[in-house]
Structure 1
Amino acid sequence: MANIVVPDLKTQFHQLIACPSVSATDPSLDMGNRPVVELLGGWLESLGFNVEVMPLKGSPNKANMIATLGGKGDGDGGLVLSGHTDTVPFDAERWQSDPFKVLERDNRFYGLGTSDMKGFFPLVIEAAKSFLDKPLQKPLIVLATADEETSMSGARALVEAGKPRARYAVIGEPTGLRPIRMHKGVMMEAVRITGQSGHSSDPSLGANAIEAMHKVIGELLVLRKEWQQKYNNPGFAVPVPTMNLGCIHGGDNPNRICGHTELQFDIRPLPGMQLTDLREELNKRILTIPQDNKIQVEVTSLFPGTEPFEQDAHSELVKAAEKLCGHQAESVAFGTEAPYLKSLNIDTIVLGPGDIDQAHQPDEFLALDRINPMVNILRDLIGRFCL
């Protein structure tokens, strides 16, 4: 790897976008991210970084990468520049160009992942080049993760391993060059009810799962109202926790008593609300609803969930980012890997050049006039926290 020539910034964009790395809950669409990680690792190793590739357990085609430059290796201080290497699935017929080929048009780079968020890495490398001949007293760490768009399994693996060790971190998700210090968490839950089917002409022959679910939905709406009365954070555009009843399936025919139904919903809690407490309350409220003895109710999580995130407004990192960006740190509604890095005792902000409005959309793009400002911000942060 050491003899690899690191291409220019534009070529890095082309090569990264050309490496498909879709992560999806549908196994037929899910891919690995190893080619992206190995490409980045080769470039960074050529620049003098010490590169560690961490395959995910049970998924050898998926891996995290930790690349470290300078510092004493004792975990005391340093800056992490972090991004995920996977993208969401795409509808090729809705794109005006090939999602895996960078198209430069209208002062933009078009391509899948240009904004969210492979396009962050060439900017990190461009900023890091300014420090290759400087003695970094604290480590500069480039972190690339897997599966952020689905299970967060890459971030979870880092927490389990206790890596990386540093003092500060910037996650380059699309924030429009505005520092973000708070976001809501997310839970995705399901209630499954098994009743007893039978002929609809005689309700006593069965137990209707849809009618039982009606009671559950009523209780969920009561609980949602209670949470929204109890929790409020004016720092968010939607200042209360939300609960969305997303999809429901059940039954098979109008003249048959429904024997099974399932409701799936999400909850987006505010900072200060713990997922374990919320799940405990859900179980307490739903599983104690009086039901026919022929009815079985199960509450289950569709994925482990991501905690809400909040970084202290007075953190040195927040203050530095606010000064560099010319904006006060804000909140966003979408989730990131920030709470996982925060759990490793790393002061963390989310700050990137893209726009969330472009994420997960056909013809995703990164505006070219965002590149130099982001590189300059990264150079300033590296100089402040690593030199």
Structure 2
Amino acid sequence: MISQLTAYSLETITESAIYLLKRLIATPSFSREEAKTAQLIEQFFQEHGIPYKRTKNNIWTHNRYFDPAKPTILLNSHHDTVKPNPSWKLDPFKPLEREGKLYGLGSNDAGGCLVSLIAAFCHFYKKQDMAYNLILAATAEEEISGREGLELILPEMPPISFAIVGEPTQMHLAIAEKGLLVLDCVAHGKSGHAARNEGENAIYKALKDIEWITNYQFPKVSPTLGPIKMSVTVINAGSQHNVVPDACSFTIDVRATEQYTLEEIVETIQRHIQSEVKPRSIRLKPSSIPEDHPIVKAGIWLGRETYGSPTTSDQALLDCPSLKCGPGHSERSHTADEFIYLREIEQGVELYIRMLEQVL
């Protein structure tokens, strides 16, 4: 056994995590509406005698023997959820245990991850002589990539050496994650009467640009994340059948890798298409952590696999090496009758602790 926990103490800390998760499920916490779940997390830390800070709906705290001279590890996950889709048959806000599963909105994404990280943090909270400090951050607005979540409190924190971001990965190790770039584009033409062959049809111009977007491949391919992926996901033009449209707008969803900066991707697209291109933001960067990093090696030693993740999380806001890892399964996220297995939370708490023991 690597861990010095007894079976009883591990069981106790896991039970505490599951109880907190049930309370979070029972409390609606849509993005930008997380005040009540933030209050529940505050109450949890108060009950456990752990001082904390709150900035808007973000709760964060550090280990008791925090030493500014030591490097710091960030443990982060979010307590906001998407809205339940119409296909739910169960009550999304009623935590229900059935056949080893805990049902409820946010149970899998990312409540199970959050409470497992909180439990692991509590295990190390009073430990002395650690090589690192620990900061636990339960944050808001992750589901909408909002600016009043993790991004808001990072300037209040000391420099972060590396981070573990809790998202459902079956406790495997996402050592790289694609960034997200959303581009709003407009093809400009000239209006005219359709019957008289007048004007310049902006739709046709947009189609030529969309064809380039469909076929272009960025030369550099990530060994972990593969190629950059561009998809046109929205298009709008025209007002009536007999008027040649003078503008056609479309949106490009770009999933970026570490091989190019977001600015380089935008510049490449602007150079090759005629349409006007405006990025909504360049905040959500690709992220990664070296495969030989001690926390990754610790996970591999414990039988976890490494992979590159195509989805975006709060990792995109971090400027330090970061690992995405947590209990639950990504395919259950945002689905009707969302659930997490109780055994996944038990495994999550124990594996987080065992991985951190090897670096702390």
State the TM bucket, normalised to the shorter chain: 0.7 to 0.9
> TM-score, with normalisation over the residues of structure 1?
0.82
Question: Does the CA-based 8 Å contact 2:65-2:126 persist in structure 1?
Answer: no
Letter in 2 for 1:209: A
From 249, 260, 268, give the equivalent of 2:255: 268
* Deviation, structure 1 residue 89: 2.2
Is residue 222 of structure 2 the alignment partner of residue 233 of structure 1? Answer: yes
Is residue 348 of structure 2 the alignment partner of residue 340 of structure 1? Answer: no
Question: Does the CA-based 8 Å contact 1:70-1:136 persist in structure 2?
Answer: no
Q: Pairwise CA RMSD of aligned residues?
A: 2.3
Question: Does the CA-based 8 Å contact 1:243-1:265 persist in structure 2?
Answer: yes
Q: How does 1:66-77 map to 2 (within 5 A)?
A: 66-74=60-68, 76-77=70-71
Q: Which runs of 5+ in 2 are unaligned?
A: 1-14
Letter in 2 for 1:36: T
Aligned to 1:38: 39
Q: 1:100 and 1:43 mapped to 2: Cα distance?
A: 19
* Deviation, structure 1 residue 167: 2.8
Is residue 339 of structure 2 the alignment partner of residue 350 of structure 1? Answer: no
Question: Does the CA-based 8 Å contact 1:252-1:258 persist in structure 2?
Answer: yes
Question: Does the CA-based 8 Å contact 2:283-2:316 persist in structure 1?
Answer: no
* Deviation, structure 1 residue 305: 4.6
Letter in 2 for 1:89: K
Aligned to 2:289: 311
Is residue 127 of structure 2 the alignment partner of residue 134 of structure 1? Answer: yes
Aligned to 1:3: none
Q: 1:122 and 1:22 mapped to 2: Cα distance?
A: 18
Question: Does the CA-based 8 Å contact 1:70-1:140 persist in structure 2?
Answer: no
Q: How does 1:187-206 map to 2 (within 5 A)?
A: 187-204=181-198, 206=199
Q: How does 1:68-147 map to 2 (within 5 A)?
A: 68-74=62-68, 76-91=70-85, 93-135=86-128, 137=130, 138-147=132-141
* Deviation, structure 1 residue 272: 2.1
* Deviation, structure 1 residue 308: 1.2
**Cα distance change of structure 1 residues 168 and 234 upon mapping to structure 2, 3 Å threshold:** closer
Range with bigger deviation, 372-381 or 189-198: 189-198
Question: Does the CA-based 8 Å contact 1:233-1:270 persist in structure 2?
Answer: yes
Question: Does the CA-based 8 Å contact 1:51-1:67 persist in structure 2?
Answer: yes
Q: Which runs of 5+ in 1 are unaligned?
A: 1-6, 24-30, 56-62, 290-296
* Deviation, structure 1 residue 54: 1.8
Aligned to 1:54: 55
Letter in 1 for 2:339: F
**Cα distance change of structure 1 residues 140 and 282 upon mapping to structure 2, 3 Å threshold:** same
Q: 1:20-58 deviations in whole A, cap 9, x for unaligned?
A: 2222xxxxxxx4222222221221243233311123xxx
Aligned to 1:157: 152
Size of the aligned set, in residue pairs, is 345
Letter in 2 for 1:370: E
Question: Does the CA-based 8 Å contact 1:17-1:100 persist in structure 2?
Answer: yes
Give the % identical residues. Answer: 26
Letter in 2 for 1:273: Y
* Deviation, structure 1 residue 275: 0.2
**Cα distance change of structure 1 residues 105 and 254 upon mapping to structure 2, 3 Å threshold:** same
Aligned to 1:366: 340
Q: 1:325-378 deviations in whole A, cap 9, x for unaligned?
A: x0232212111222433x1x3x42111001000011111111112122111112
Q: 1:77-98 deviations in whole A, cap 9, x for unaligned?
A: 243221012112221x311211
Q: 2:301 and 2:66 mapped to 1: Cα distance?
A: 28
Q: How does 1:200-215 map to 2 (within 5 A)?
A: 200-204=194-198, 206-215=199-208
Q: 1:59-79 deviations in whole A, cap 9, x for unaligned?
A: xxxx32221122334162243
* Deviation, structure 1 residue 164: 4.8
Q: 2:209 and 2:140 mapped to 1: Cα distance?
A: 36
* Deviation, structure 1 residue 115: 0.8
Aligned to 2:19: 11
* Deviation, structure 1 residue 192: 1.6
Q: 1:127-154 deviations in whole A, cap 9, x for unaligned?
A: 3443455335343321112211112422
Aligned to 2:210: 217
**Cα distance change of structure 1 residues 136 and 45 upon mapping to structure 2, 3 Å threshold:** farther
* Secondary structure at the counterpart of residue 94 of structure 1: coil
**Cα distance change of structure 1 residues 210 and 333 upon mapping to structure 2, 3 Å threshold:** same
> TM-score, with normalisation over the residues of structure 2?
0.87
From 245, 266, 272, give the equivalent of 1:285: 272
**Cα distance change of structure 1 residues 218 and 127 upon mapping to structure 2, 3 Å threshold:** closer
Question: Does the CA-based 8 Å contact 1:79-1:385 persist in structure 2?
Answer: no
* Secondary structure at the counterpart of residue 144 of structure 2: coil
Aligned to 2:11: none
Letter in 1 for 2:300: E
Q: 2:112 and 2:142 mapped to 1: Cα distance?
A: 15
